[in-house]
C-alpha cells in the first residue's frame, strides 16, 4: 500500500459530506458484506437517476464505487469492536433525540488515516479518519460532526454536486469557451488555466453554500440531544487550528530528546542541505489550500454563526479520553506496520517531550528506530519516508524527516541501543522491551 495513501490528507479540513439514514445503527464487520452492498447501492443510484448526461453521471458513480472497493481491499479501513461499539453509542444518542431520523442501511467505516477528516461518498457510506480523534476534545464535538454529515444527506448535497459539476462541464457556455481557448494562437495554456479555474470556482461556491446549510440543519438535529451545544463551534475551532498551524503543531526538540550521556546528539543530524531537496515542487500531503478555491467557506464566519445559536449548554461535556487513547495506540501500530515511520516517530517524540510516555510509547519509540535501521540496511528508506521538502507547511514533520535521512545506519542502531539502556530500569521486565533490547545489543556488539 502506498504510504496509507497519504494523498487523502491534502485536504486538512472536514469534508462534512453525508448520506441518508434509516432505523437502527448498523456498523459493518464483514468486507464481503460491504462489497456486495456497495454493488447494490451503485445499481440503485444509477437506476434512480434521470436527466441529461446519464452515462457521464453513471461513470462518476462507478468511480466512487471502485474507489471504496480499492480502499477496502488495501486494508485502509480498520475494523475494531471498540470503535464500532463507541460509535454505535453516539449514533444511538442522536437517533434517540431525533426519532424521525432513519439510521438503518448506513455503513460507518474507520480509516487508518491520521488526518482529521470525516467524509461521505453520497451512497450510504461514512468514513471517519482515526486522526479525527486527535483533534477533537469531546464526544460532543464528534456528535456534532456526525449531525452535520447527516444534514448534508438530508439536503442531498453530495449527488447534487456531482450532477452540477457534470452539467456545468458540458454546458454550451463552457464548450464555447473551450473551443475559443483551443483556437487561441497566443496564451493558449493561460486561457485553459483560467477556464479550469472558472469551472472549479463555480463548483466550490456551491460547496461553500452547502456548508452553511449543513451547519444550520446539523445544529437543529444536534440541539435535540443531551450533548453540549457549545461543541458546535468548538469542533470547528479545533479543526481551524490545523489551518493556522498545520497538523504537526508541536516543535519537537529532537536534539534534547535523543541526546545521551554516552552518545550525545550530533548537530549535523538536523542540517538541511540543498542537495536533499528535489528540483521540482513536491505535493504537500498535509497542506491546507488557502486560495479562493478552498472547499469550505471562511471558518471564522461559520464559528460565529454557531456561537450565536449555542447560548445554553444542554449537558456537561462527555469525557472520551479512553477512546482517544485507544485510537492513538492502534494508530501507532498501523503507522509502523504500513511504514509511516516519520509520522509515528513524531507522535511518539511529542508524547516524550510532553512527559506523557508510558511502556507502550517507549517500546514503540524503540521499535521505530528498529524499522528505520531495517529500511536503511535494505536501502529502502526513501520508499517509505519522503525526503524533506522546502515547500511544505509542516515544518516540524519536515525537520524530523531531515533527521531520519541524515542518520547513518550505525548511528541509527546506536540511538536504538541508547534508548534501551535509558529505559531499562523502568520497562526492562516487559517481554517486548527485552526483545528490542536484545536486538540492539546484538547490533552494537
Per-domain boundaries in the chain: 3-246+297-309, 254-285+321-444
Instruction: Identify the band that residue 16 occupies on the pLDDT scale cut at 50, 70 and 90.
Output: very low
Task: Give the model's pLDDT for residue 19.
Answer: 32
Cα–Cα separations (whole angstroms), residue 403 to 341, 406, 407 = 12, 5, 6
Q: What percent of the chain has pLDDT over 90?
A: 32
Task: Give the model's pLDDT for residue 183.
Answer: 56
Residue 104 has pLDDT above 60, yes or no: yes
Q: What would the 3-class secondary structure string for 221-242 be? A: HHCCCCCCCCHHHHHHHHHHHH
* Structural contact between residues 371 and 343, judged by C-beta atoms closer than 8 angstroms: no
Containing H/E element for 116?
none
Number of alpha carbons in the 13 Å side-chain half-sphere of residue 260: 14
Instruction: Identify the band that residue 18 occupies on the pLDDT scale cut at 50, 70 and 90.
Output: very low
Q: What is the pLDDT of residues 383-418, one digit of tens each?
A: 889 887 766 778 889 999 999 999 999 999 999 999
Q: What is the pLDDT of residues 40-54, one digit of tens each?
A: 988 888 888 777 888
Residue 60 has pLDDT above 60, yes or no: yes
Instruction: Identify the band that residue 286 occupies on the pLDDT scale cut at 50, 70 and 90.
Output: very low
Q: Which of 233, 207, 219, 244 is nearest to 304 (CA)?
A: 233
The DSSP 8-state label assigned to residue 338 in this structure reads T
Task: Give the model's pLDDT for residue 441.
Answer: 96
Task: Give the model's pLDDT for residue 412.
Answer: 97
Instruction: Identify the band that residue 112 occupies on the pLDDT scale cut at 50, 70 and 90.
Output: confident
Residue 26 has pLDDT above 50, yes or no: no
Task: Give the model's pLDDT for residue 409.
Answer: 95
Spell out the long-range contacts of 381-390 with Cβ–Cβ below 8 A and sequence spacing 24 or more. 381/405, 384/3, 384/339, 384/340, 384/341, 385/339, 385/341, 385/342, 386/282, 386/342, 387/276, 387/277, 387/278, 388/272, 388/276, 388/277, 389/277, 389/278, 389/281, 389/282, 389/284, 390/277
- What is the chain's mean pLDDT, rounded? 78
The DSSP 8-state label assigned to residue 264 in this structure reads P
More confident residue, 129 or 240: 129
Task: Give the pairing of strands 125-129 and 77-78.
Answer: unpaired
More confident residue, 328 or 316: 328
Q: What percent of the chain has pLDDT over 70?
A: 74
* Structural contact between residues 158 and 152, judged by C-beta atoms closer than 8 angstroms: yes
Q: Which of 443, 445, 440, 400 is nearest to 418 (CA)?
A: 440
Task: Give the model's pLDDT for residue 352.
Answer: 95
Q: For residue 104, give the 3-state DSSP assignment.
A: strand
* Structural contact between residues 248 and 286, judged by C-beta atoms closer than 8 angstroms: yes
Cα–Cα separations (whole angstroms), residue 192 to 172, 283, 288, 291 = 16, 22, 25, 19
Q: Which of 149-158, 192-201, 326-335, 341-350 shows the lowest per-residue confidence on average (mean pLDDT)?
A: 192-201
Instruction: Identify the band that residue 445 occupies on the pLDDT scale cut at 50, 70 and 90.
Output: confident
Residue 179 has pLDDT above 80, yes or no: no
Task: Give the model's pLDDT for residue 285.
Answer: 45
Residue 260 has pLDDT above 90, yes or no: yes
Beta sheet of 77-78, edge-to-edge order: 77-78, 107-111, 125-129, 118-120
Task: Give the model's pLDDT for residue 225.
Answer: 93
Task: Give the pairing of strands 77-78 and 107-111.
Answer: antiparallel
More confident residue, 415 or 317: 415
Task: Give the model's pLDDT for residue 187.
Answer: 55
Nearest 5°: CA angle at 376, between 372 and 377? 115
Amino acid at each position: 500500500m502506498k504510504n496509507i495513501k497519504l494523498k487523502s490528507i491534502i485536504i486538512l479540513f472536514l469534508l462534512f459530506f453525508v448520506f441518508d439514514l434509516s432505523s437502527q445503527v448498523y456498523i459493518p464487520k464483514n468486507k464481503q458484506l460491504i462489497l456486495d452492498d456497495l454493488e447494490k447501492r451503485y445499481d440503485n443510484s444509477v437506476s434512480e437517476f434521470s436527466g441529461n448526461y446519464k452515462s457521464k453521471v453513471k461513470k462518476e458513480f462507478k468511480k466512487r464505487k471502485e474507489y471504496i472497493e480499492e480502499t477496502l481491499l488495501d486494508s485502509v479501513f480498520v475494523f475494531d469492536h471498540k470503535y464500532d461499539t463507541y460509535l454505535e453509542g453516539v449514533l444511538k444518542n442522536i437517533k434517540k433525540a431525533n426519532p424521525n431520523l432513519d439510521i438503518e442501511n448506513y455503513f460507518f467505516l474507520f480509516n487508518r488515516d491520521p488526518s482529521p477528516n470525516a467524509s461521505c461518498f453520497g451512497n450510504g457510506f461514512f468514513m471517519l479518519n482515526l486522526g479525527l480523534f486527535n483533534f477533537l476534545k469531546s464526544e460532543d464535538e464528534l456528535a456534532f460532526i456526525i449531525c452535520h454529515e447527516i444534514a448534508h444527506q438530508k439536503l442531498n448535497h453530495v449527488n447534487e454536486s456531482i450532477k452540477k459539476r457534470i452539467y456545468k462541464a458540458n454546458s454550451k457556455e463552457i464548450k464555447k469557451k473551450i473551443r475559443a481557448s483551443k483556437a487561441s494562437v497566443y496564451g493558449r495554456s493561460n486561457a485553459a488555466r483560467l477556464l479550469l479555474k472558472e469551472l472549479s470556482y463555480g463548483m466550490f461556491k456551491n460547496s461553500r453554500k452547502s456548508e452553511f446549510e449543513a451547519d444550520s440543519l446539523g445544529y437543529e438535529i444536534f440541539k435535540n440531544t443531551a450533548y453540549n451545544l457549545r461543541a458546535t463551534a468548538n469542533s470547528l475551532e479545533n479543526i481551524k487550528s490545523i489551518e493556522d498551524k498545520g497538523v504537526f503543531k508541536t516543535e519537537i526538540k529532537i536534539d534534547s530528546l535523543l541526546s545521551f550521556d554516552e552518545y550525545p546528539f550530533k548537530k549535523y543530524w538536523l542540517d538541511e542541505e540543498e542537495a536533499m531537496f528535489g528540483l521540482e515542487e513536491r505535493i504537500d500531503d498535509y497542506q491546507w489550500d488557502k486560495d479562493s478555491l478552498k472547499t469550505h467557506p471562511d471558518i471564522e464566519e461559520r464559528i460565529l454563526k454557531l456561537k450565536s445559536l449555542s447560548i445554553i449548554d444542554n449537558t456537561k461535556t462527555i469525557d472520551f479520553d479512553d477512546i482517544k487513547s485507544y485510537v492513538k495506540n492502534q494508530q501507532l501500530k498501523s503507522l509502523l506496520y504500513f511504514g509511516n515511520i516519520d509520522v509515528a516517530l513524531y507522535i511518539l517524540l511529542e508524547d516524550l517531550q510532553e512527559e506523557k510516555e508510558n511502556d507502550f510509547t517507549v517500546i514503540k519509540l524503540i521499535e521505530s528506530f528498529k524499522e528505520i535501521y531495517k529500511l536503511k540496511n535494505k536501502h529502502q528508506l526513501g520508499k517509505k519516508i519522503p525526503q524533506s521538502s522546502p515547500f511544505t507547511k509542516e515544518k516540524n514533520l519536515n525537520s524530523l524527516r531531515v533527521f531520519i535521512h541524515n542518520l547513518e545506519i550505525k548511528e541509527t542502531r546506536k540511538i536504538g541501543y541508547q534508548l534501551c539502556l535509558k529505559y531499562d530500569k523502568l520497562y526492562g521486565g516487559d517481554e517486548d522491551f527485552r526483545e528490542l533490547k536484545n536486538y540492539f545489543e546484538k547490533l552494537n556488539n
